[in-house]
Structure 1
Amino acid sequence: MTAHELTSSPSLLPLYAKAAATGPLHRGTELPDSTYTLGDVTIDRDHLVAYQRVCGFRVADVLPPTYLHILAFPLSIALMTEQAFPFPLVGLVHVNNTITARRPVRADEPVSFTVRADNLRPHPAGHQLDLLAEARVGDEPVWSGVSTYLRRGTPPEGTEKPERRELDPQAGPLTTLRVPENIGRRYAAVAGDRNPIHLHALAAKAFGFPTAIAHGMWLAARVLAGLEGRLPDALVHDVSFKTPVPLPSTVSIASVPVDGGWDLDVRSARNGKPHLAGTVRPIA
C-alpha cells in the first residue's frame, strides 16, 4: 500500500487542471492501493458558517453531518488524478453517497482524515467504485463516508440491474424548494467543487447538459437541513442521485418518519421526475 501523508489539504484547481490534461492516459482494470491522510485539521469557523448558510443549516458550533465530506473531498480528487487510477476524472458520475456520523463533532475539535478507493465492480451502465473517507478526533473514529462513482461504458456480460429504491412521493408531507440559478456557483465557492456543469449554462452545454445543474451533495445537505432538530445524534445518511436538478428549478421534497429516522424523496415539482432518494437511520 502506498501511503501519502499530507500536511495541508490539496488545492483543487491544479488537480482539476491535471485531470483535464491527463484524462486520456487513465486506462486500467484495477484501483490504486494508495491511501491519503491529513492530520489534525482545524475547522475554519468562517468556512463552516458559509457552508451552513449555503446549505440551509442553522449557524452553530456543531458540524452538519455532510460538512466533513467537503473537507475529505480534495483527498479523494488527489487519489482520482493519480496516474494509476483507471478512469479519467472527467466523466465520472457521483451516483450514491453514504455518511455514517457516530456522534456530533464540534468546531473546536481537530479532525484527521484518511481516504482510499475500493470495490471496483461491474454495473449495468459500465463500472462503479467507492471512495472511502474516514474522519477521526484523536484516535476516535467519528465519521465515515462512501462516495460511489459510475464510469459509463459497456458492462460485462451477465451484469444484473440493481434494484431501484423508490419512495411514494405522496407518502408524506411535501415541501417545495426553489433552487436558484446561482446555487452551483455559491456552493462551489464553499465546497471547492468547480465542475463546469454546475457553474454556467454555456459550460454545462459543452458537456451535454441543456443548462447548469445543482451539485448532488448540495441537494443532499439541503434536504438534511430541512430536518435539523429532528435528526438522531448518531446516524447513517444514505442518498442515491437519480437525475440532475436543472438550474433554476423548483423541487418537491417528501420526508416520511421511519424507525426513528426518515425516508426521503426529491422530485421535480413540474413533472415529477425523481432527483434524489434517501434514508436517515439512527445508529444504536
Structure 2
Amino acid sequence: MPDVATRTFDKAPATVPLMLKAALPALPVVGGLPGVKHASGEAPDLVLRRTGVTTDPAHLERYNQVCGFGSGATLPVTYPHMAAFALHMSLMTDTAFPFAPMGLVHLRNTITQHRPLGIGETFDVAVRAADLRPHPKGRLIDVLTDVTVGEEVVWSEVTTLFARGKGGAPEQTEAPLEGLEAPSGVVQWKLAGNLGRRYGAVSGDRNPIHLYPLTAKAFGFPSNIAHGMWTKAHALAALTNRLPDAYQVDVEFKKPILLPGTVVFGSRSRDGEIDFGVVGARKPVTHMVGRTTAL
C-alpha cells in the first residue's frame, strides 16, 4: 500500500483563497490545466492535521447566536466542525481529490460525540478522505474527521459527498436513514434571506450558493439556500435538553431550503433515539431527516 502523506497546520488555512481555488476547475480552459484539474482515481492517501486548537469565546458566541445554542461550559455538538472546515476545503481543493469541489453535494452527515468538549480544552483535528463508492446517479466519497484530546478520540464526523455522473450503480450498503420520514411538528422556523451570509461569516463556508440570489442562480438555484450544517445545528439546538453526553447523530439532506423561507421542525422520541426532520411550511417538501442514538 502507498504511504499516507500527512500535512500539519498550526492554524486554520484561510478559507477565502480556498473558495477561489475551488472555483477554478469549473472555469473553461483553466479547469483542464495542470495544477488545477483534479485526478479521477481513488481517495487520496493524505491526512491533514491541525494541532493545538483552542476555542475563541467571541467566535463561539457568534456561532451560538446564529445557530440557536445557549451558552454553557461545553461546546455545541456541531461546533468542532468549525475547526475542521478549512481542512475539509484544503483536502477537497487538492488535485489528488477525485472531484472538483464546486460540483459536490453534501448528502449526509454523521457526528459522534464520545464526550462533550469543554470550552477551555485544547484539541487536535485530523481529516482524510475514504470510501469512494458508487451511487445510482454518480459516486459518493466520505470526508472523515477525528478530534482528539491527547490520545483520546472525543468527537468524529463523516461528511458524505455526492458527485453526479454517469455509470452509477446501487449503493453497496443501506443508507443510515433509509426509509426514515420526517416526524410531524408545529415549530416553525422563519429564515431570513441573509441567513447564508450570517452562517458563512461565522463558519467560513462562503459558497456562492448560500450568499445571494444572484450568485445562487449562477449555479442553477432559484435563490440562495441555507447551509446544511446550519440546519443540522439548529435542529440539535432545539433538542439540547433531551440529549445525553455521548451520542451519534445522523442526518440526510433532501431538498435545499430556499431563502428567505419558513420551514417546520418536528421530532419523535423512542428507546434511546430521537428522530427529527425539517419540512416546508407551505409545501410538504422534506429538507432534512435525522436521528440521534445514545451511546
TM-score by length of 2: 0.92
Instruction: List alignment gaps of at least 5 residues for structure 1.
Output: none
Alignment partner of 1:6 out of 9, 28, 39: 9
The within-5 A match list for 1:202-221 is 202-221=214-233
Alignment partner of 2:89 out of 77, 80, 92: 77
Q: 1:194 and 1:154 mapped to 2: Cα distance?
A: 29
Q: 1:209 and 1:44 mapped to 2: Cα distance?
A: 34
Q: 2:250 and 2:202 mapped to 1: Cα distance?
A: 22
Q: 2:192 and 2:163 mapped to 1: Cα distance?
A: 29
Deviations along 1:119-164, one digit per CA (max 9) or x if unpaired, are: 0001011000000000011221100000000000113456679664
The within-5 A match list for 1:1-284 is 1-23=4-26, 24=31, 25-156=37-168, 164-167=178-181, 169-170=183-184, 173-283=185-295
Q: How many Å apart are 1:176 and its aligned residue?
A: 1.2
Across the aligned residues of Structure 1 and Structure 2, the Cα RMSD in angstroms comes to 1.5
Deviations along 1:90-147, one digit per CA (max 9) or x if unpaired, are: 1100000000000111110001000000000010110000000000112211000000
SS of 2:120 mapped into structure 1? coil
Go from structure 1 to structure 2 and tell me whether the alpha carbon gap of 1:256 and 1:203 turns closer, same or farther (over 3 Å shift). same
Go from structure 1 to structure 2 and tell me whether the alpha carbon gap of 1:42 and 1:161 turns closer, same or farther (over 3 Å shift). closer
Q: How many Å apart are 1:210 and its aligned residue?
A: 0.3
Q: 1:158 and 1:278 mapped to 2: Cα distance?
A: 22
How many residue pairs were aligned?
Answer: 281
Go from structure 1 to structure 2 and tell me whether the alpha carbon gap of 1:271 and 1:160 turns closer, same or farther (over 3 Å shift). farther
Q: 1:281 and 1:22 mapped to 2: Cα distance?
A: 39
Q: 1:161 and 1:41 mapped to 2: Cα distance?
A: 35
TM-score by length of 1: 0.95
Contact 1:124 1:161 in 2 (8 A): no
Task: Show structure 1 runs of 4+ deviating over 4 A.
Answer: 157-163
Q: How many Å apart are 1:261 and its aligned residue?
A: 2.9
Q: 2:277 and 2:194 mapped to 1: Cα distance?
A: 23
In structure 1, the residue matched to 2:34 is none
